[in-house]
Structure 1
Amino acid sequence: MLDKQRNQVVVYKHVEGDSTSLVNNRVDGIVEDRSGTLWICTLGGLSELIQGKPRRFRNHLLAPKESDPVEGRHVSDVFQDHLSNLWVATYGRGLIKLESAGTHMSFLHQADSAGTGENWIYNLVEDRDGLFWLSTRAGLVSFDPRSGRFTRHPMSQLSDAHIFGIYVDQQNDLWLSTEIGLAKVNPKTLSFTRFDGTYGMAFTELLSGFFKDRHGRMFVGGLDGFAEFYPESISAVSRAPEIAVTALSVFGKDIPASTLSTGEAPFSHDQNSLSFSFAALDYADPLRNRFAYRMVGVDNDWVEAGTRNYASYANLDPGHYMFQVRGCNSNNVWNESGTSIAVVIAPPYWLAWWFRIIVAVFIAGTVYAAYRYRLRKLLDLERLRLRIANDLHDDVGSNLSAIAMVSRAAQRAPELTTSTKRKLAEIYDTAVLTSEGMKDLVWFIKPEDDTLDDLFLRMRDTAPTLLGEIPFEFHSPEVGDSAVITIDFKRSVFLAFKEILVNITKHAKANRVEIQIALRNHEFEMVIRDNGRGFDEAARHHGNGLQSLRKRAQLIGGSCAITSSPHQGTTVKFSGRI
């Protein structure tokens, strides 16, 4: 210590075993508080020079629990806030507040469990809003003494460089001495300005804190010397740089510059891999200009590109896009509006609206042509069926009638023998039966009879002929002429109906028959019951009749079931899909 009155230097050293001596011989800083007390920051703790007692010190923070496993009791800085509270910065033990009674309170950044990041503090200051700013191994950290809360403020511009000193100027801006030079930070916006050779700063590596003399002149030291400046006289204000897209390429092939000047770049569907180059037109320190970009329609948010001034997009789908880019200069002044260029990738012809219309018209035309072709074929089939039915009725039917009439007339000839008359009677019966069968065949073929009503009417008319003298009840729903059926359905149902009634007449010996027809959700069901002698289902033989009924039901998607017991009659349930 320099004693100006005696013009001599007084050296204070640590004396082993003397608790009132300097706590450690390695001194990192000396701070004088508002009361005139000197505080000495050392490797072994904090020493307070007792006023009025030369060479006597009061030492603090010596308890074993206050020691860091790596750095021990290393104190790096002491600061007195605007409320005259004394704060101590340590290596690894965070921030410590000394109380007037000699006690203290520790504040640790909870995220720094190892004590080698936010709790390793080089320097601290207080801004004009009462917020503390700490230079730490983890970078710039703020501390609110009112809440005891730490906040880390990472800055990509520092590139993880250490901050060794912080100073707050009259505008409440923070000045930082760092491994990469001098910088200024606005604590509210955290805008960052670096001062290098373009501002006349000769040193790019600063390793000390700041000192301000009574004239407002600031001093900061580096490896090769120290620099002096007036903080209020240095202006880093600059205008936002103009942003421009300088090049556009497709699959590595450059697009003419005239395309960029129009603000819209049209491409075909096979030109969908694009690369953009862009620039901030600020040449103070162009290598530190930074950019952010996005492709509207592809990117959900801005892509922070740093100093990279190009972007690429591959395999873009057809559509309309907007490439936007914004940037800042080396003083971190951003052009938020930036620039943009519209990108239009045309769809291939098979995805174009006009091609889709042509394909739709072609498909519709094809479907319509197929429909017309099928309709014409159906009409031709209808005409063929009608012609066959008419031919059968007119030619074959009339011939059978003639045979029946001739055979009946020939039977009256007196000269014929009994055997010949019997043969003629058989011919007559065969002709009549064949004629009746021919009527059924003509009815099957005629297209105008393809309705449920015609089917039910035919069944109702046929029942008396087949049952003879057996009384019956016939119940069928009214469906109208619009209920059209297929010839297979008509044939299967009618022939099954005839076969069931014939079996009743031949075998049942019934005196009552009930015929019930029902329609349910396009399902046809016919139930025929008789009160005849019935049979034992367990002992019955499956003849051709039952197999024939089941095959007819299967042909129309249905089934046939027979229920019977001796002397209890028989029930036949025949179903199919209309």
Structure 2
Amino acid sequence: NGLLWLSTNKGIVVFDPQSEKIKATYDASDGLQNNEFNQNSYFKNSKGEMYFGGIGGFNFFDPDNIVDNSYAPPIIITDFKLFNRSVDVYSDLTVDEYSLEKSIFATRDIKLLYDHKVFSFEFSALNYIAPKKNEYAYMMEGFDKDWIYADRERSITYTNLEPGNYIFRVKGSNNNGVWNEAGTFINITIEPPWWKTWWAYSIYGLLFFSGILALVKIRERELKREIDTTRKIEAAKIEERINMRTKTSQDFHDEAGNKLTKINLFTTLAQNEASENSTLKEYLTKIQENTKELSSGMRDFLWVLDAGKDSLYDMLKRMEDFGNSMFESTETRFSVTGIDEKFKQLILPMEVRRSLILIFKEAINNSLKYSNSKNVFIIINFEKPFLEIKLVDDGSGFECNQKSEGYGLKNMKARAEKLNSTLEIFSAKAKGTQIKFRGNITQMGS
């Protein structure tokens, strides 16, 4: 049949040269004199019988009379052990309080506890022709990556498998190496300890998020207390500054105001006495004018100090009142447009209010003294965060160049620059004058 029969030191082997595979192996369990044979001790007679000599005698046979076993034997699991002790079916003799509902070879599902650390399976191939030659392979799906060939070993023990779901599979062959590839299997579930169950993890998650929520609430309360404390401190500081400004304003008004009033009164009396001395009268007139300017400046200073006049609205109303007082005894029409009640919510730093008042007092004075205007308008435009204030007159105007700028105009521009703002002057002879202030209200005090 084209097969080679070879004697070896491990029995007689049948080898197929075409497939380069061993088809069968026979040893002492098959009736050979021994597993060990001698070299060059072989013979084939005319009948086709083969003779092989070994250390215990010789064997002869007709290869045509030796029939292969092609039966793929059923595979069964014969025993299940916990901690090396067999587990019975519904027996009082339980292993670690564990027993089977039915015989292991009929069982398809096993549930174990997490502390069933050591368990074993025994299995068998139902082939009774040279059963010692039956071979086995097993695999624990979920743990083993591939089949493990155990040769003729009929048991396997697992230790310390993690909780989870597994499938134990086993397959086997007969004495001629014919495998039952389907084999048999058993589903295994190892329950986790209670502290690793889904409901335990749910509790952990609930406790964790509750703890986080509690910490957040505690932190929120701490922050609220800190914010409240900071606000109280700031409010106290603001109140202290307001009180200081109010007291300073009152003291300054009482002291300086009284003194200026007396100076003005005595100057008037002195003018009456010096009616024949023109030079002295001129000096007294200058003293009186300077006293009035000083008094006006003092009123501006006291107004700036007044904590109740900190808003943009108050500053614009002050500007309007000043303009009305300047033009009320003239033929010039003066008006302010664009003042909005919502400006009361916009608080300006003291220096910003002072600078804006001084810029436009200078502009109003210049318009009154030099423009010969019939109309003077102040127009307010606020598009958050930009504030624009324009003074427009229809007077005589002037040539707008660098050389023509006097100290007053330069001073106005310098004040605008200190407020991070711009001041533009547009004028031409006989075409009136426009002075435009523009700045970001959030950056004026920086």
* CA distance in 2: counterparts of 1:334 and 1:554, whole angstroms: 90
Where 1:245 maps in the other structure, the secondary structure is coil
* CA distance in 1: counterparts of 2:67 and 2:219, whole angstroms: 81
The answer to whether the aligner puts 1:397 opposite 2:249 as a matched pair is no
Residues 304 and 430 from structure 1, CA distance in 2 versus in 1: closer, same or farther, beyond 3 angstroms?
Answer: farther
* Cα displacement (A) at 1:325: 1.3
Please list the CA deviations of residues 437-465 of structure 1 after superposition, one character each: whole Å capped at 9, or x if unmatched: 11111111111122333323222221144
* CA distance in 2: counterparts of 1:457 and 1:230, whole angstroms: 110
Where 2:121 maps in the other structure, the secondary structure is coil
Where 2:192 maps in the other structure, the secondary structure is strand
Where 1:576 maps in the other structure, the secondary structure is strand
Contact 2:242 2:307 in 1 (8 A): yes
* Corresponding residue number in structure 2 for 1:502: 365
* Corresponding residue number in structure 2 for 1:445: 305
- Match of 1:458, as an amino acid? R
* Corresponding residue number in structure 2 for 1:292: 142
* Cα displacement (A) at 1:429: 2.1
Residues 504 and 414 from structure 1, CA distance in 2 versus in 1: closer, same or farther, beyond 3 angstroms?
Answer: closer
* CA distance in 1: counterparts of 2:242 and 2:146, whole angstroms: 77
Structure 1 unaligned regions, length at least 5: 1-24, 29-42, 44-70, 75-121, 123-136, 138-161, 165-176, 180-220, 247-277, 294-302, 312-322
CA RMSD of aligned residues (A): 4.4
* Corresponding residue number in structure 1 for 2:376: 513
Where 2:261 maps in the other structure, the secondary structure is helix
* Corresponding residue number in structure 1 for 2:168: 329
* CA distance in 1: counterparts of 2:241 and 2:24, whole angstroms: 99
Please list the CA deviations of residues 65-86 of structure 1 after superposition, one character each: whole Å capped at 9, or x if unmatched: xxxxxx9xx9xxxxxxxxxxxx
* Cα displacement (A) at 1:400: 0.6
- Match of 2:120, as an amino acid? D
Contact 1:243 1:327 in 2 (8 A): no
Contact 1:280 1:327 in 2 (8 A): no
State TM-score, norm by structure 2: 0.58
Picking from 384, 393, 396, the partner of 1:530 is 393
Where 1:519 maps in the other structure, the secondary structure is strand
Contact 1:292 1:305 in 2 (8 A): no
The answer to whether the aligner puts 1:372 opposite 2:232 as a matched pair is yes
The answer to whether the aligner puts 1:281 opposite 2:131 as a matched pair is no
Picking from 110, 114, 120, the partner of 1:245 is 114
* Cα displacement (A) at 1:569: 1.9
Where 2:398 maps in the other structure, the secondary structure is coil
- Match of 1:333, as an amino acid? F
* Corresponding residue number in structure 1 for 2:180: none
- Match of 2:295, as an amino acid? S
* Cα displacement (A) at 1:228: 7.1
* Corresponding residue number in structure 2 for 1:426: 286
The answer to whether the aligner puts 1:385 opposite 2:245 as a matched pair is yes
Contact 1:291 1:325 in 2 (8 A): no
* CA distance in 2: counterparts of 1:542 and 1:420, whole angstroms: 34
1:123-522 to 2 correspondence within 5 Å? Answer: 227=69, 235=76, 237-239=105-107, 240-246=109-115, 281-284=119-122, 288=138, 290-292=140-142, 324-331=163-170, 333-335=185-187, 337-341=189-193, 342-343=195-196, 352-413=212-273, 417-467=277-327, 469=330, 470-479=332-341, 482-486=344-348, 487-522=350-385
* Cα displacement (A) at 1:310: 6.2
* CA distance in 2: counterparts of 1:425 and 1:544, whole angstroms: 24
* Cα displacement (A) at 1:574: 0.9
* CA distance in 2: counterparts of 1:417 and 1:410, whole angstroms: 11
Please list the CA deviations of residues 241-291 of structure 1 after superposition, one character each: whole Å capped at 9, or x if unmatched: 444435xxxxxxxxxxxxxxxxxxxxxxxxxxxxxxx85733316994515
* Cα displacement (A) at 1:384: 1.1
Where 1:284 maps in the other structure, the secondary structure is strand
Residues 542 and 404 from structure 1, CA distance in 2 versus in 1: closer, same or farther, beyond 3 angstroms?
Answer: closer
- Match of 2:335, as an amino acid? E
Where 1:283 maps in the other structure, the secondary structure is strand
Residues 375 and 327 from structure 1, CA distance in 2 versus in 1: closer, same or farther, beyond 3 angstroms?
Answer: same
Residues 333 and 505 from structure 1, CA distance in 2 versus in 1: closer, same or farther, beyond 3 angstroms?
Answer: same
* Corresponding residue number in structure 1 for 2:132: none
- Match of 1:567, as an amino acid? A
Please list the CA deviations of residues 140-196 of structure 1 after superposition, one character each: whole Å capped at 9, or x if unmatched: xxxxxxxxxxxxxxxxxxxxxx9x9xxxxxxxxxxxx999xxxxxxxxxxxxxxxxx
Residues 576 and 230 from structure 1, CA distance in 2 versus in 1: closer, same or farther, beyond 3 angstroms?
Answer: closer
* Cα displacement (A) at 1:413: 2.3
Residues 498 and 414 from structure 1, CA distance in 2 versus in 1: closer, same or farther, beyond 3 angstroms?
Answer: closer
Contact 2:378 2:392 in 1 (8 A): yes
State TM-score, norm by structure 1: 0.46
- Match of 2:361, as an amino acid? K
- Match of 2:167, as an amino acid? C
* CA distance in 2: counterparts of 1:362 and 1:425, whole angstroms: 67
* CA distance in 2: counterparts of 1:442 and 1:245, whole angstroms: 86
Structure 2 unaligned regions, length at least 5: 5-15, 26-62, 78-104, 124-135, 149-157, 171-183, 442-446
Residues 502 and 338 from structure 1, CA distance in 2 versus in 1: closer, same or farther, beyond 3 angstroms?
Answer: same
Where 1:340 maps in the other structure, the secondary structure is coil
* CA distance in 1: counterparts of 2:380 and 2:410, whole angstroms: 22
* Cα displacement (A) at 1:305: 9.2
Where 1:282 maps in the other structure, the secondary structure is strand
* CA distance in 1: counterparts of 2:324 and 2:434, whole angstroms: 19
* Cα displacement (A) at 1:572: 1.2
Residues 230 and 392 from structure 1, CA distance in 2 versus in 1: closer, same or farther, beyond 3 angstroms?
Answer: closer
* Cα displacement (A) at 1:495: 1.3
* Cα displacement (A) at 1:512: 2.7
* CA distance in 2: counterparts of 1:413 and 1:554, whole angstroms: 48
Which piece of structure 1 moves more, 532-541 or 510-519? 532-541
- Match of 2:229, as an amino acid? A
Contact 2:112 2:191 in 1 (8 A): yes
* Corresponding residue number in structure 2 for 1:254: none
Residues 329 and 454 from structure 1, CA distance in 2 versus in 1: closer, same or farther, beyond 3 angstroms?
Answer: closer
* Cα displacement (A) at 1:408: 0.8
* Cα displacement (A) at 1:484: 3.9
* CA distance in 1: counterparts of 2:309 and 2:393, whole angstroms: 29
Residues 523 and 481 from structure 1, CA distance in 2 versus in 1: closer, same or farther, beyond 3 angstroms?
Answer: closer
- Match of 1:407, as an amino acid? T
* CA distance in 2: counterparts of 1:415 and 1:516, whole angstroms: 46
Where 1:572 maps in the other structure, the secondary structure is strand
* CA distance in 2: counterparts of 1:324 and 1:445, whole angstroms: 79
* CA distance in 1: counterparts of 2:190 and 2:377, whole angstroms: 92
The size of the alignment, in residue pairs, is 317
- Match of 2:263, as an amino acid? I
* Corresponding residue number in structure 1 for 2:88: none
- Greater share of helix residues, 1 or 2? 2
* CA distance in 1: counterparts of 2:307 and 2:230, whole angstroms: 22
